[in-house]
């Protein structure tokens, strides 16, 4: 009888241990599935937010560039023949660009603070590996213009993503929200400098770029050259934005301990 009870006890113990092991691996699988689901959700949040904001910023960059060089072509034509009929065609094309531009620029200007916060919450915070690594939201935006308050006058011509920054300019090129703030600051600067272009579109007087030099950026300080330098820097600025997004994706991968593609394959 005692032997039978001992055998029964061992059988029961074995069943209990088997149940515990099964429950452990079930939990482990469930936990892994939850992690995968959370990781996927984080990737989707970053992807969706960066696409929305990236498309918005690139559209404004493209339209500012189109406006400037259309006006520049008209100015060159007017300097040779002020009655050149192509000038009217340039003006019509510029008007179409301006209409599209204003439809995008005005909402962006009104909502840039929310846009930066959206990037901060949906990308930078999501990608943080821990609460200690959550970046601070930049606090130096001018409340009336949303420009970087401490940015030097030459920021848009001379400071690109990845460049060393002064202690006064508190930006982190790894943060998507900081890259957006820097891009918007330069969009705002160019928008102000291009007031003569908007005036030309709304009048019959060609924009006067009489002193437009052909020298490279920095050789002279004419406003038109500064605008051209700003526009030339849009490409590396947008690349900096994309690089910060890629960095956010990688931080999410590290947060969940997912192997990289090379590690996975080899």
The 10s digit of each residue's pLDDT in 148-200 is 877 888 888 888 898 887 777 878 899 999 999 999 999 998 998 888 888 88
How far, in Å, CA of 193 to CA of 190, rounded? 5
**148: which strand partners?**
141
| Residue 90 lies inside a defined structural domain of this protein | yes
- C-alpha closest to that of 255 among 135, 125, 129: 129
Domain hosting 250: range is: 40-265
| Residue 1 lies inside a defined structural domain of this protein | no
How far, in Å, CA of 72 to CA of 74, rounded? 5
User: How far is C-alpha 206 from the geometric centre of its chain's CA atoms?
Assistant: 35
| Residue 210 lies inside a defined structural domain of this protein | yes
Secondary structure of residue 163 in the 3-state scheme: coil
| Residue 258 lies inside a defined structural domain of this protein | yes
Quote the pLDDT of residue 214: 42
How far, in Å, CA of 61 to CA of 76, rounded? 23
| Residue 103 lies inside a defined structural domain of this protein | yes
How many Cβ atoms sit within 10 Å of the Cβ of residue 135?
16
Say if CB 227 and CB 190 are below 8 A apart: yes
Quote the pLDDT of residue 261: 44
Cα 184-189-193 angle, rounded to 5 deg:
145
Say if CB 135 and CB 173 are below 8 A apart: no
Helices 86-119, 176-193: axis angle to 10 degrees equals 150
How far, in Å, CA of 10 to CA of 190, rounded? 81
Task: Count the domains in the chain.
Answer: 1
What is the token pair recorded at 224? 């038109």
Quote the pLDDT of residue 4: 43
| Residue 200 lies inside a defined structural domain of this protein | yes
Quote the pLDDT of residue 44: 92
Which residue numbers in the chain have pLDDT < 50?
Answer: 1-5, 7-10, 210-215, 261-262, 264-266
Quote the pLDDT of residue 229: 82
| Residue 2 lies inside a defined structural domain of this protein | no
| Residue 34 lies inside a defined structural domain of this protein | no
């Amino acid at each position: 009888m005692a032997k039978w009870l001992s055998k029964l006890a061992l059988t029961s113990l074995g069943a209990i241990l088997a149940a515990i092991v099964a429950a452990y691996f079930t939990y482990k699988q469930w936990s892994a599935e939850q992690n995968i689901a959370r990781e996927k959700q984080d990737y989707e949040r970053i992807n969706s937010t960066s696409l929305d904001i990236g498309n918005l910023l690139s559209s404004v960059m493209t339209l500012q560039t189109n406006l400037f060089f259309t006006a520049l072509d008209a100015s060159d034509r007017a300097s040779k023949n002020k009655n050149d009929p192509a000038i009217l065609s340039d003006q019509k094309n510029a008007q179409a660009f301006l209409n599209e531009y204003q439809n995008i620029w005005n909402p962006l200007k009104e909502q840039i603070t929310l846009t930066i916060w959206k990037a901060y919450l949906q990308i930078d915070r999501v990608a943080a590996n821990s609460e200690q690594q959550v970046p601070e939201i930049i606090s130096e935006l001018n409340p009336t213009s949303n420009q970087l308050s401490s940015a030097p006058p030459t920021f848009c011509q001379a400071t690109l993503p990845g460049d060393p920054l002064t202690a006064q300019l508190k930006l982190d090129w790894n943060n998507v929200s900081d890259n957006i703030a820097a891009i918007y600051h330069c969009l705002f600067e160019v928008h102000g400098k291009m007031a003569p272009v908007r005036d030309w579109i709304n009048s019959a007087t060609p924009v006067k770029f009489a002193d437009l030099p052909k020298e490279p950026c920095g050789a002279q300080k004419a406003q038109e050259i500064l605008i051209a330098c700003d526009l030339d820097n849009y490409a590396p600025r947008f690349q900096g934005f994309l690089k910060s997004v890629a960095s956010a994706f990688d931080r999410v991968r590290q947060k969940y301990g997912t192997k990289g593609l090379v590690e996975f394959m080899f």
